[in-house]
């Protein structure tokens, strides 16, 4: 094992060409050297482990080399180069500001700056984590940074650029180092494996690269820990075990179980995952990114976004073929919802289980439809998404589970007609509505026919505005008893008016109220239509202008409003020198 602990250091790039994943920066630096346009102060910003210090050292070595090559690389042979490579060059001075951030530390450094180097032309001063310097230390340093001696070059490095004061920023040439891409990290790890004679599974390196999150240094130290020194290998299995990563096999497995509506297996798998010590939240987030990967597979254009080894890629592709696009989108939404609700949930495991169960109900629709009428799938895609959303959201899951295919199709028509799901699902005979083979265009063409068949005969009793208000208030009182205060306020803050025969208009004060109303619209419409015996009733909302502008929110607004009512307040304010903001 100990043989490998050095790879981060051993494989530290020593020329600009070797630097991994920072081509823009290395190109600019070598061009500056070539053109002799080198700045005297640099600020290297970027995440940890992406090559800031490495680039600083290469820069130091290159500009001091006695035989710089045509393509601006150090020769690695001259006296200056060899002393660099053996780590005893006097031309490079490093200060870690994280632990040496006092004024004295900086004064020591500033004192050294005055002396020209013995060998080579330049002295390089690297101040790492420069944002950690105390403000006194910063000030002590500013003057030197302003007028550095010709032989001195400063490279300030930081992971937190926003903490650097503007006076420093304006004096430096700034380079933003980016996180290193997965593919760059993987090929570097492959290179290290090859050079060390290590037998590395590509999927294993993939996981390491993924876990390193864009830091090459982290990926290398992880790699060191994971190499099995007995047989010089690094395998997918050992990486998964050691890094305690939820295997993609689990995700592939549970997704298969979900889309085939195998509820019991889903429950067993999640149980197994939790028993293996994985966190339920972590699992649901992992499932979300798995679904995202499947989504990416759906389109050849986005396939490049799938960061997986070849073997794994084919597994994803084949699973993706078995998943409807609408299923993936819906399931992703469910994961997201679960993620949002997770922290607040009292029974987190149940929340995750319920989320998975809901997913199996989407799977059911997809597979049943496929078996029953493959013609529907393509043209009716848009309708499909809609329905499933409605059903799963509005109807208790259990109920959906027992729906027959006939009913499902019927709901589809109904949703397209914008009639509320809840009431219609309960209605009985479906056969007459059901079209043996229908597509979206069928639904469009036969709108009328379907509508009449479905709800015939429709109730259309006349009613007056005052009768409507009575019925409205009854509903509001019921809501009040249920303790839904927000909805109650929304319903009662203004009187609903009757605009046309059946169109009710309600003025609301803000978007929040609109949302509350929307969420409860089904129940409200149901109540109105039943109580007034009219199926044509519809509701629109209107943001009331006066309410929007009239309600004073800030202290200043309130003050202005008060002075309108009593102008003497102005005099009072001026005399006492009051600030209405407070």
Which residue, 62 or 502, has its beta carbon nearer to Zn ion? 62
Token readout for 229 is: 């020194």
Rounded CA separation 443/411 (Å):
12
Which residue, 65 or 280, has its beta carbon nearer to Zn ion? 65
537: left (phi over 0), alpha (psi -120 to 50) or beta: beta
Q: Closest separation between CB of residue 121 and Zn ion, Å?
A: 12
Which residue, 75 or 489, has its beta carbon nearer to Zn ion? 75
Token readout for 162 is: 């926003």
Q: Closest separation between CB of residue 88 and Zn ion, Å?
A: 15
Q: Closest separation between CB of residue 81 and Zn ion, Å?
A: 3
Rounded CA separation 298/414 (Å):
29
Q: Closest separation between CB of residue 87 and Zn ion, Å?
A: 15
Which residue, 63 or 352, has its beta carbon nearer to Zn ion? 63
- Non-local (6+) Cβ contacts of 306 within 8 A are 293, 296, 297, 313, 316
Q: Closest separation between CB of residue 75 and Zn ion, Å?
A: 4
Which residue, 81 or 415, has its beta carbon nearer to Zn ion? 81
Q: Are 13 and 19 in contact (CB under 8 A)?
A: yes
Rounded CA separation 175/38 (Å):
13
State the first-to-last Cα distance of the chain, in angstroms, to the nearest integer.
66
Q: Are 297 and 303 in contact (CB under 8 A)?
A: yes
Query: Under the rule (CB under 5 A), what is the footprint of Zn ion?
Result: 65, 74-75, 78, 81
Long-range contact pairs involving 522-527 (C-beta distance under 8 Å, separation at least 24):
522/394, 522/420, 522/421, 522/422, 522/423, 524/475, 524/491, 525/420, 526/420, 526/422, 526/423, 527/471, 527/474, 527/475
Which residue, 91 or 269, has its beta carbon nearer to Zn ion? 91
Which residue, 69 or 372, has its beta carbon nearer to Zn ion? 69
Q: Closest separation between CB of residue 119 and Zn ion, Å?
A: 11
Token readout for 71 is: 């393509």
Which residue, 89 or 269, has its beta carbon nearer to Zn ion? 89
Pairing mode of beta strands 497-498, 503-508: antiparallel
Q: Closest separation between CB of residue 14 and Zn ion, Å?
A: 11
Rounded CA separation 158/177 (Å):
10
CA-based nearest residue to 284, from 353, 346, 330: 353
Q: Closest separation between CB of residue 53 and Zn ion, Å?
A: 20
């Amino acid at each position: 094992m100990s043989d490998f602990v050095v790879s981060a250091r051993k494989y530290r790039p020593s020329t600009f060409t070797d630097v991994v994943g920072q081509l823009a920066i290395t190109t600019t630096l070598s061009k500056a050297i070539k053109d002799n346009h080198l700045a005297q102060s640099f600020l290297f910003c970027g995440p940890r482990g992406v090559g800031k210090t490495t680039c600083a050292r290469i820069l130091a070595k290159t500009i001091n080399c006695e035989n710089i090559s045509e393509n601006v690389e150090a020769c690695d042979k001259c006296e200056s180069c060899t002393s660099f490579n053996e780590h005893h060059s006097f031309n490079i001075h490093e200060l870690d500001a994280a632990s040496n951030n006092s004024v004295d530390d900086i004064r020591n450094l500033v004192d050294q700056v005055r002396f020209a180097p013995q060998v080579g032309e330049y002295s390089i001063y690297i101040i790492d984590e420069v944002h950690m310097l105390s403000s006194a230390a910063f000030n002590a340093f500013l003057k030197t940074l302003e007028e550095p001696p010709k032989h001195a070059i400063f490279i300030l490095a930081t992971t937190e650029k926003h903490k650097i004061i503007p006076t420093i920023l304006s004096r430096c040439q700034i380079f933003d180092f980016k996180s290193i891409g997965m593919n760059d990290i993987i090929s570097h790890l492959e290179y290290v494996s090859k050079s060390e004679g290590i037998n590395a599974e590509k999927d294993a390196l993939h996981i390491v690269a993924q876990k390193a999150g864009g830091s090459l240094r982290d990926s290398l130290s992880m790699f060191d820990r994971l190499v099995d020194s007995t047989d010089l290998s690094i395998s997918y299995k050992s990486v998964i075990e050691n890094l305690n990563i939820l295997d993609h096999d689990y995700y592939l497995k549970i997704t298969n179980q979900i889309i085939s509506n195998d509820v019991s297996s889903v429950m067993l798998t999640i149980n197994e995952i939790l028993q293996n010590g994985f966190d339920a939240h972590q699992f649901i987030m992992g499932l979300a990114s798995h679904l995202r990967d499947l989504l990416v597979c759906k389109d050849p254009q986005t396939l490049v976004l799938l960061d997986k080894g070849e073997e794994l890629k084919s597994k994803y592709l084949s699973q993706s073929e078995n998943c409807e696009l609408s299923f993936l989108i819906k399931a992703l939404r469910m994961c997201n919802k679960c993620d949002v609700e997770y922290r607040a949930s009292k029974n987190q495991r149940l929340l995750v289980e319920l989320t998975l169960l809901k997913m199996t109900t989407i799977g059911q629709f997809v597979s049943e439809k496929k078996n029953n009428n493959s013609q529907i799938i393509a043209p009716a895609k848009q309708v499909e998404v809609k329905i499933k959303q409605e059903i799963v959201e509005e109807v208790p899951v259990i109920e959906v589970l027992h729906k027959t295919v006939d009913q499902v199709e019927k709901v589809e028509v109904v949703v397209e007609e914008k009639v509320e799901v809840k009431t219609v699902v309960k209605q009985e005979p479906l056969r007459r509505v059901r079209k043996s083979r229908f597509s979206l265009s069928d639904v469009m063409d036969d709108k009328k026919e379907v509508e009449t068949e479905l709800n015939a005969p429709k109730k259309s009793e006349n009613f007056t505005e005052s009768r409507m208000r009575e019925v409205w208030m009854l509903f509001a009182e019921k809501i009040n008893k249920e303790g839904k205060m927000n909805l109650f306020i929304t319903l009662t803050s203004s009187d609903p008016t009757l605009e046309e025969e059946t169109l009710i208009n309600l003025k609301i004060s803000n978007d929040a109220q609109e949302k509350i109303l929307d969420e409860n619209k089904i129940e409200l419409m149901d109540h109105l239509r039943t109580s007034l015996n009219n199926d044509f009733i519809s509701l629109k909302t209107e943001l009331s202008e006066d309410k929007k502008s009239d309600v004073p929110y800030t202290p200043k607004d309130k003050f202005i409003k008060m002075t309108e009512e009593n102008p003497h307040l102005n005099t009072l304010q001026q005399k006492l020198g009051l600030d209405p903001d407070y």
